[in-house]
Amino acid sequence: MLIGFMGCGKSSVGRLLARDLRWPRYDTDELVAKELALSIPEIFALGEEYFREAESAALTSIGGTNPAVIVTGGGIVLRPENVRRLHELGTVIWLQATHAVLQERLARGKYRPLLDTADPAATIAALFAQRHALYQEAADLAIDTSAMSHQEVAQAIRHELRISC
Ligand code: S3P
């Protein structure tokens, strides 16, 4: 299970891991968008709370019996019930990156409704400060991805979990 701030590489690393291990991949953002047949920005336009409810329901819907790669949205750690569910599902891996690296990656990344503000850099800084401790608390394992490629991060995860393919 991959957690971490927007832009830390969860989606790309999750895809690589799932491909290499031939494990199914579940992505809570994708599950939410599919369930509601709306894009993430469209769901946010209905209110963040609406998105958070759907996100928790998506996480609950993932069965924990078979090995799988689970990718979560950056805000999954905001609800303690989600964190409990993550631990039921398996090892929680935090893809860390420094604030400066995240700022840089997010400036050229995909559109994110939470960062659609007058000053996205200040929004990132505020969310980063708010959430850092939540990721730290939720994580079984942390990997600093700041200077790593997605492939290196995937390899580091396999190494840490002692999974070969
Ligand atoms: C969010 C992160 C996004 C997505 C939504 C909210 C957040 O996912 O779930 O826009 O609260 O950090 P990524 O972390 O994949 O960008």
**Could you report the average pLDDT of every consecutive run of 10 residues in the chain (165 residues)?**
96 97 96 97 96 98 90 98 96 96 91 94 96 97 97 96 73
pLDDT value for 66 = 86
pLDDT value for 164 = 61
Candidate from 1, 5, 6, 69 with most ligand 1 atoms within 8 A of CB, to mutate:
6
What's the predicted TM-score (pTM) here? Answer: 0.95
What distance in angstroms lies between residue 114's CA and the mean position of ligand 1's atoms? 8
pLDDT value for 18 = 97
pLDDT value for 65 = 79
What distance in angstroms lies between residue 74's CA and the mean position of ligand 1's atoms? 4
Q: Record the tokens describing residue 95, joined without a space.
A: 């893809």
Helices and strands in the chain, H and E counts? 8, 5
pLDDT value for 63 = 86
What is the Cα–Cα distance from 24 to 6, expressed in whole angstroms? 22
